[in-house]
Amino acid sequence: MGTLPVPAPNVVSAADIWNGGPDAEAWESCMITVQDGMQVTAAANAYGEWYATALDGTVVMFDDYWYDDTQVMLQQCYNNATGILNYSFNDFKLEAFADGIELVDCGVDAQDISFSSVKALYR
C-alpha cells in the first residue's frame, strides 16, 4: 500500500446504487459510505445477507464478508454504513466493514402532553 493514508470512502446515496441508478456499476469494488439513515427490515438469512430500508424507501442489501451478521437485529437503525460494494448473484451488496455501521437509537421518546396543548399548536 505504500506510505500514504488510506483514502476516504466515496459518499453515495442508497438510491444511486439500489434503485437501478446509472452509477451503480461504476461503484462496484469501491469503498463507499451510504449516508442515508436506514432501518433493518429483514434479518440476516442463511447466506449472511440482510436488508435495510433507507429514509427515502430504497432497500439496501448487505452481506457479511467483514461484518458479524449475528449482531444484526430487526428494527435496528443505521446512521450510515461504510464498506465495499460487491456484485454477486445478480445483486449489489454492501460488504460493510466490521466497524463500518454506525448504529443509532431510532426510538422516539414519549412526551407527556395534553390534547388541548396539541390543538393549540395548530390554531
* 86-117 pLDDT tens trace: 999 999 999 999 999 999 988 766 677 787 88
Q: Which residues of the chain have pLDDT under 50?
A: none
Cell of 123: 390554531
Spell out the domain ranges in the chain: 10-121
Measure the CA–CA gap between 103 and 118, rounded to whole angstroms: 32
Structure confidence at residue 110 (pLDDT): 67
| Residue 41 CA: distances (Å) to CA of 1, 77, 123 | 37, 10, 38
Class in CATH terms, 10-121:
mainly beta
Sign of CA dihedral 22, 26, 92, 58: negative
Structure confidence at residue 65 (pLDDT): 95
Identify the CA nearest to 31 among candidates 85, 106, 89.
85
Structure confidence at residue 33 (pLDDT): 96
